Structure 1
Amino acid sequence: MKTFVKHGLLAGALCALPATSFAQSEVVVWVAGEPGQTNIYDELAAAYSAQHADVTVTVVKNSSDLFNPALIPALSAGEGPDLFSFGTGPGQPAALIAGGLVADLTGAYFENNWSGTIPEGIVVQTSSDGKLWAFGNEVETTGMFYNKAIFAENGISVPGTWAEMEAAVAALQAAGYDTPIGLGAADKWPVSHWQSMMFGRYAGPEGIENVLFGEGAWTDAPFVAASAKLQEMGQAGWFGPTPVAIGYGELMDRFWAGEVPMTFTGPWVIGGGTEAAGDRIGDFGVFAVPPFEDGQSIHPTNSIGSGWYIRESSENKEAAVDFMNYMFASNEGRTALLNAGTVPVGPLDEALADAQMPALAVEIWKSADEHAGNGSVPAFLDTITPGSLTTVSYDGLQALLLDVMTPEEFTSEMQSAWTAAKEAGEIMLPGGIAEQ
């Protein structure tokens, strides 16, 4: 039986990395993204190469629609990038791993103490068969954005308990706000952010992992209870009279205009919000939704959109690992990423202190770091579960809000889709790293 390493978000410590000498080599890095989004990698490459005269890091930029079609043929031919970012969702990395196209990073994980940087919840998304295959790329989280000015006008403090949360919503409703918490459920996916967070609160990280990689089921009691709580909130008007009739874009416009006091979303809205709110941006803040029930812990939500892989046939693996280590495990690299709007995985306290970020961004990530010791849960279950389950979840979440489906029916339909996906081999492979 394999022994799997357990590690928390705050295990270990980030520190300055010593310079490493290599034979003269070039590390070719492929990144995908639109113009302006990938400039940070040029900057990191230049900074690293300036510290390592024996290594040249060359960044090759590809538009998103050209990256994937070109990658697999290049890797299969033993060519292409030494280091590249690619998806980590169901099915995406499996072909790379099964085909022997990417390097096993388990040794680098232990040698570089990556357990102090990569949260366990991210490790399980980038590992299989006891081995680490990728270093998790940018991370996203979610939190309750709120209007401080509206709270102050109505004598409301940031709620720290569910009773205080209920009192805050009641006070806002009494003050004439028909939508205390904006949802934008016409677009379906915003509701899944609530689902991911609430499933995590009721089941905990272990409960989520037991379904994703073990024998757990979406019909287990915690998921039914979480679905019932979400429906209860909708029935009480927390999300307004017609949440499924309002799209996310319209909702966010109303939030930044000061018409909706709260909305549960992520830091990707901050740039647009700063532009929309202008001089009023200081009126807004972020807090963690308090525990829904006695005995619950706050589990920060963390999800990654991709991971960084190294080509198995690369002759420059050590230099590629070292550059990746510089980007994501040194305070210098992490601070540069934060300044560019990319949030690396792991503890952020040191990098946040040095980064020049919008106040709202600092606030949401400090909130996540504050509760990191409790363990994190996925922010976006829809990105790590099969598309068939996502479709069922999206439709079912709307049905819950419309009161045309019970929590038991919703979770039963989820489990049916999940069972079919498991039988078809469409789910993520079990994660975890075997101890060395």
Structure 2
Amino acid sequence: MSTARRRMTAVAAVALGGALLLTSCGGSDGGGSGDGRTLRLWHYEGPDSAMGVAWNAAIEEFEKTHPGVEVEFEEKGFEQIRKTAPMVLNSSDAPDLMEYNKGNATAGLLSRQGLLTDLTPEVTARGWDKKIGAGVRTTSQYDTDGVMGSGKWYGVPNYAEYTMVFYNKDLFAKHGITEPTTLGELTAAMDEFVDAGITPLANAGAEYMAQQYLYQLALSRADRSWVDAYQLYEGEADFHDAAWTYGAETFADWVEKGYFSERSTGTKSEDAGVSFIQGKAPILFSGSWWFGRFEAENQFDWGTFPWPDTDLTLGSGGNLWVVPKGAENKELAYDFIDITMSEKIQNLLGNEGGVPVAADPDAVTDPRAKELIADFNALAEKDGLAFYPDWPVPGFYDVLVSETQKLITGGADPDAFLDAIGEAYEKDAPKR
């Protein structure tokens, strides 16, 4: 094991969400003053997640093909990077390669601020654009206003993601409940759990999970033009229309019925995931990023199904590899991205429970993983990826967290919730 590898393993063992920091040799477009002997990379995937496993393998492959390159580490988390990225990337502490959230409010904002490298030349020269389908590439390209869907490539996703219902088959069987296939059957199942003294839905009001439940409820009454108006500004977003009203009112009703715990207002996503892993919550609605961890840690029979009675659900290309404008060593950053896009790493990602963008379908052999990928492909083929609710404008994530918490506690009614998020959206949405 190389010195570089030993250093990475030591840090990875410190924290599940630890980030890897790597460095690379000089590139163009700003930066380029590095020594070519260190690759600095930040990512926030846990080592047991599908992405964490695949990217650790990519690091090993990188070391084989780049002898003498030193690997360095720092611990990073999703929230840490989300909150500090603009400041860090505008300083001398910027890494060479970083995993970053996609969408107008995050990668789009950084591209508009001139903090990210235009990757378009590398994307075309290395053929990444040929491997990434239209639905996934939407979040890779941003125009001069920082709006996704067109313009230059500022990020590259090497996986995709989408949300689904995870459910504890053993708990369902114990209470004589069959797998729901309609929203009516899902709510009937939740009623039965409530009657048995069990809160059916794992939830996290302090982070992204609660707002994603509400957005999915709204999506069940929406169509593609509604999504494009809200996310891409291709039309007027009406926050008191039938879809948003249904989402907010149904979410509040579900709190009242006991489907969510009122205590979940202060719960983080990790807590919600652990409650499912421990068999306490029979149902969790969240993303494919949990799949590999559930595969490794669940000690019960479990399964997944798409949110019923809708053609739209939350999903997109995965988080992006971005190269900071001021990165000192860019060429090896591009080389690392290329390795993560290779068939070898893509196949591993698929078998570990991720949703690869360029795997050989025949090489993914795990039955549950094959089902996961098949469900994503079906969603993508019907143009069902509806992105995430916090994407449209900067700062919207925090607004949605705080306003959704008020719905959970009863501190605001659905109309007040819709007024608040509509006002925040209109304040910062670009005029197009």
Confirm or deny a common fold (TM above 0.5): yes
Pairing partner for 2:346 from 326, 330, 334: 334
2:153 maps to which residue?
A: 132
Pairing partner for 1:372 from 380, 391, 408: 380
Contact residue 118 and residue 345 of structure 1 kept, 8 A: no
**Change over 3 Å in CA distance of 1:57–1:103 after alignment to 2:** farther
Q: Distance in 2 between matches of 1:96 and 1:139?
A: 21
Contact residue 142 and residue 265 of structure 1 kept, 8 A: yes
Does residue 207 (structure 1) correspond to residue 220 (structure 2)? The answer is no
**Change over 3 Å in CA distance of 1:242–1:349 after alignment to 2:** farther
**Change over 3 Å in CA distance of 1:420–1:369 after alignment to 2:** same
1:324 maps to which residue?
A: 337
1:183 maps to which residue?
A: 203
Q: Distance in 2 between matches of 1:379 and 1:177?
A: 34
Does residue 290 (structure 1) correspond to residue 298 (structure 2)? The answer is no
Does residue 43 (structure 1) correspond to residue 60 (structure 2)? The answer is yes
Q: Distance in 1 between matches of 2:123 and 2:272?
A: 45
5 Å-filtered alignment, 1:24-63, equals 29-33=39-43, 39-46=56-63, 49=65, 58=69, 60-63=71-74
1:346 maps to which residue?
A: 357
Q: Distance in 1 between matches of 2:374 and 2:140?
A: 23
Q: Deviations over 1:85-107 (max 9, x none)?
A: 55545365655566486234168
Q: Distance in 2 between matches of 1:95 and 1:248?
A: 25
Pairing partner for 2:138 from 104, 123, 127: 123
Cα RMSD, aligned residues only: 4.4
The CA deviation at 1:399 is 2.6
Contact residue 62 and residue 339 of structure 2 kept, 8 A: no
2:323 maps to which residue?
A: 309
2:414 maps to which residue?
A: 407
Pairing partner for 2:184 from 163, 183, 187: 163
Contact residue 189 and residue 394 of structure 1 kept, 8 A: yes
Letter in 1 for 2:165: M
Q: Deviations over 1:359-410 (max 9, x none)?
A: 76665444333322122445643366422x3333222223333445333321
The CA deviation at 1:191 is 0.4
* Secondary structure, aligned partner of 1:260: coil
- TM-score between both structures, scaled by the size of structure 1: 0.68
Letter in 1 for 2:361: E
The CA deviation at 1:172 is 3.2
Pairing partner for 1:195 from 214, 219, 222: 214
**Change over 3 Å in CA distance of 1:395–1:351 after alignment to 2:** farther
Q: Deviations over 1:157-212 (max 9, x none)?
A: 322222222332334344x1431223243x35320221343344433454233223
Pairing partner for 2:129 from 114, 118, 139: 114
Contact residue 201 and residue 260 of structure 2 kept, 8 A: yes
- TM-score between both structures, scaled by the size of structure 2: 0.68
Q: Unaligned regions of 5+ residues in structure 1, if any?
A: 1-25, 50-54, 431-436
Letter in 1 for 2:347: T
How many percent identity over aligned positions?
17
Contact residue 178 and residue 240 of structure 1 kept, 8 A: no
Q: Distance in 2 between matches of 1:306 and 1:196?
A: 22
Contact residue 190 and residue 265 of structure 1 kept, 8 A: yes
**Change over 3 Å in CA distance of 1:310–1:255 after alignment to 2:** closer
2:30 maps to which residue?
A: none
* Secondary structure, aligned partner of 1:114: helix
Q: Distance in 2 between matches of 1:58 and 1:200?
A: 47
1:233 maps to which residue?
A: 254
Letter in 2 for 1:42: I
**Change over 3 Å in CA distance of 1:410–1:360 after alignment to 2:** farther
Q: Considering Cα pairs closer than 8 Å and 6+ residues apart, tell me whether 1 or 2 has the greater RCO.
A: 1
The CA deviation at 1:416 is 0.7
Q: Distance in 2 between matches of 1:252 and 1:107?
A: 37
* Secondary structure, aligned partner of 2:167: strand
Contact residue 208 and residue 377 of structure 1 kept, 8 A: no
Contact residue 326 and residue 333 of structure 1 kept, 8 A: yes
Q: Distance in 1 between matches of 2:412 and 2:191?
A: 26
* Secondary structure, aligned partner of 2:304: strand
**Change over 3 Å in CA distance of 1:311–1:339 after alignment to 2:** farther
2:276 maps to which residue?
A: 255
* Secondary structure, aligned partner of 2:307: coil
Q: Unaligned regions of 5+ residues in structure 2, if any?
A: 1-35, 145-150
Letter in 1 for 2:308: P
1:381 maps to which residue?
A: 389
Q: Deviations over 1:60-113 (max 9, x none)?
A: 43425699677555699xxx84x6555545365655566486234168349837
Q: Distance in 2 between matches of 1:157 and 1:75?
A: 53
Contact residue 334 and residue 351 of structure 1 kept, 8 A: no
Number of aligned residue pairs: 375
